């Protein structure tokens, strides 16, 4: 039997309570988006900026381009049915409410407590409005196969579809949008190194295929 790795979202920090969501069922699809914004050649200072003849001129060409951070969108299934059938008392009573509470807590503003502990701002340690000076969003680790990416959870949409007699949901679909935190952090640097290795492997394979075609 092949063991399937499960995706997860884990809060990076000392938090109370510790927050982690492991996917019972990995999403069937995962969408990656990265956009480049080109300023109009008519913008002051960009006259002729997109003209080039040699590779050495490409840095000047790119001066009119800004690159947005990579983002992911995925849809996960939260389902307590199997656990309920296995006699799990928590699932039988609370369904997927613990998972939904975890998702809500992942996007709720945090406050810095004693000894660096992160606490939910709504507990009264911060101001009334979300994300004031002393409040911040959670830095999360998106674990997906061999990739561990630092991300912000920028959007959560939950559709609850099945309920216990107590009206507690036991099945729901959650649509998540994640934005990669790019910069000088160990997780992102490790991912960039892995990406370079993968690109080198692909280049080597293409070179071999081209050589076989010539021969």
Q: Is residue 40 part of a domain?
A: yes
Domain that holds residue 56: 35-68
Q: Is residue 4 part of a domain?
A: no
Q: Are residues 100 and 151 in the same domain?
A: yes
Helix (H, G, I), strand (E, B) or coil at 34: coil
pLDDT of res. 173: 95
Over residues 19-39, the mean pLDDT reads 89
Q: Is residue 1 part of a domain?
A: no
Q: Are residues 17 and 81 in the same domain?
A: yes
Q: Is the pLDDT of residue 23 over 60?
A: yes
| Contact in structure between 84 and 93 (CB atoms under 8 Å) | no
pLDDT of res. 41: 60
pLDDT of res. 126: 46
Over residues 40-52, the mean pLDDT reads 64
Torsion angle, alpha carbons of 115, 117, 122, 124, to 10: -10
Q: Is residue 126 part of a domain?
A: yes
- Predicted model pTM: 0.82
Q: Are residues 63 and 75 in the same domain?
A: no
Query: How open is the CA angle 124-125-126, to the nearest 5 degrees?
Result: 95
| Contact in structure between 164 and 170 (CB atoms under 8 Å) | yes
Over residues 75-86, the mean pLDDT reads 94
Over residues 64-80, the mean pLDDT reads 91
pLDDT of res. 42: 59
Q: Is the pLDDT of residue 212 over 80?
A: no
Q: Are residues 100 and 21 in the same domain?
A: yes
Over residues 5-26, the mean pLDDT reads 88
Q: Are residues 102 and 153 in the same domain?
A: yes
- Cross-strand pairs, 140: 11, 151
Return the half-sphere exposure (C-beta side, CA atoms, 13 A cut-off) of residue 136: 15
Q: In what order do the strands lie in the sheet with 135-136?
A: 15-16, 118-120, 110-112, 135-136
Q: Are residues 57 and 114 in the same domain?
A: no
State how many domains the chain has. Answer: 3
pLDDT of res. 131: 55
Of residues 139, 143, 133, the one with CA closest to residue 154: 139
**Which of 80-94, 125-139, 185-199 is least confident?**
125-139
Mean pLDDT for the chain?
A: 85
Helix (H, G, I), strand (E, B) or coil at 68: coil
Q: Are residues 56 and 142 in the same domain?
A: no
Q: Are residues 100 and 159 in the same domain?
A: yes
| Contact in structure between 39 and 46 (CB atoms under 8 Å) | yes
| Contact in structure between 138 and 13 (CB atoms under 8 Å) | yes
Q: Are residues 98 and 153 in the same domain?
A: yes
- Cross-strand pairs, 62: none
């Amino acid at each position: 039997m092949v063991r399937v790795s499960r995706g997860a979202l884990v809060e990076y920090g000392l938090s109370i309570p510790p927050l982690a969501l492991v996917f019972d069922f990995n999403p069937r699809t995962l969408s990656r988006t990265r956009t480049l914004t080109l300023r109009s050649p008519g913008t002051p200072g960009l006259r002729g900026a997109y003209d080039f003849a040699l590779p050495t001129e490409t840095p000047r060409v790119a001066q009119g381009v800004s690159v947005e951070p990579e983002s992911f969108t995925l849809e996960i299934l939260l389902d307590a049915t199997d656990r309920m059938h296995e006699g799990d008392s928590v699932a039988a009573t609370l369904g997927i409410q613990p998972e939904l509470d975890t998702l809500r807590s992942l996007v709720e503003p945090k406050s810095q407590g004693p000894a660096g502990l992160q606490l939910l701002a709504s507990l009264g340690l911060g101001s009334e409005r979300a994300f004031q000076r002393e409040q911040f969003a959670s830095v999360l680790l998106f674990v997906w196969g061999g990739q561990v990416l630092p991300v912000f959870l920028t959007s959560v949409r939950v559709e609850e579809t099945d309920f216990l007699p107590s009206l507690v949901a036991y099945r729901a679909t959650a649509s998540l949008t994640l934005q990669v935190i790019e910069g000088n952090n160990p997780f992102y640097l490790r991912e960039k190194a892995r990406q370079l290795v993968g690109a080198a492997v692909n280049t080597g394979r293409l070179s071999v295929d081209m050589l076989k075609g010539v021969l």
